[in-house]
A and B are shown apart, each in its own frame.
Chain A
Amino acid sequence: AQTVTQSQPEMSVQEAETVTLSCTYDTSESDYYLFWYKQPPSRQMILVIRQEAYKQQNATENRFSVNFQKAAKSFSLKISDSQLGDAAMYFCAYLKDAGGTSYGKLTFGQGTILTVHP
């Protein structure tokens, strides 16, 4: 079974600084998707960024970027120019593929609480 591990229960960063959240996963599949979701105090899970395993180029969304190392099964999230609104729980998630019976069956990591200091 696939597993997703986030080894950092908590992280903190100063406003305007950069922080990197770690994620590793275990799979025998070659095609899959990886996601970072943000869960603010409002509880709603919001997609931050996604990466297709077949793409070598790391995904980027404004201040958010990933370092995807397929061979190492590592998928870290870098937040640049951190803002107070970035404070939240961040979840790394794995999806076996976007089709078939496993569609949508995300496997989540344990989460990392990010605190942003002004």
Chain B
Amino acid sequence: DAGVIQSPRHEVTEMGQEVTLRCKPISGHDYLFWYRQTMMRGLELLIYFNNNVPIDDSGMPEDRFSAKMPNASFSTLKIQPSEPRDSAVYFCASSRRDSNTGELFFGEGSRLTVL
């Protein structure tokens, strides 16, 4: 079974540009999470979905960030406009609630550099 798939793996953009990160969760998983990893702040939960519905977006830093999950197999995290402080690795993770293990399955991350 394929794991969580994220794209792009690397993105370099200029300040002010729109950035869209994509994620395909593991088939059958009903939870999807977006995490951000930086040296200063470590791993932070940005937002998560249950059955495509956003449940908690309290970690989203500001209005420049938005996330959608139009169906069970696809989610996007958008930053508009991007700023240098958004440079980080963004991870998508998915899990299955009825597994009762609490385990999250992570993608390989998207490394974003905003110049």
Contact = CB atoms under 8 A, between A and B. Distances in A.
Interface string B47-73: 010100001100000000000000000
9 contacts: A44-B106, A44-B108, A45-B106, A50-B103, A99-B97, A103-B102, A104-B48, A106-B45, A108-B43
Contacts of B111: 43
A10 to B, nearest CB: 14
A43 B37 CA distance: 10
Nearest to A105: B45
A35 B43 contact: no
Interface of A: 33, 35, 37, 42-47, 50, 91, 95, 97-99, 101, 103-106, 108-111
A45 B35 CA distance: 11
Nearest to A45: B106
Nearest to A94: B102
Nearest 3 A-B pairs (CB), nearest first?
A45-B106, A108-B43, A98-B102
Contacts, number: 56
Contacts of A97: 102
Interface residues of B, number: 24
A98 B99 CA distance: 9
A44 B5 CA distance: 11
Interface of B: 31, 33, 42-43, 45, 48, 50, 55-56, 89, 91, 93, 95, 97, 100-104, 106-109, 111
Contacts of A47: 103-104
Given A45-B93, A104-B48, A106-B45, 9 more contacts: A33-B102, A43-B111, A97-B102, A98-B100, A99-B97, A101-B55, A104-B31, A105-B48, A108-B43
Contact of B33 (A35, A50, A104): A104
Contacts of A37: 106
Interface hub of A42, A44, A108 (most chain B Cβ within 10 A): A44
A48 to B, nearest CB: 11
A98 B104 contact: no
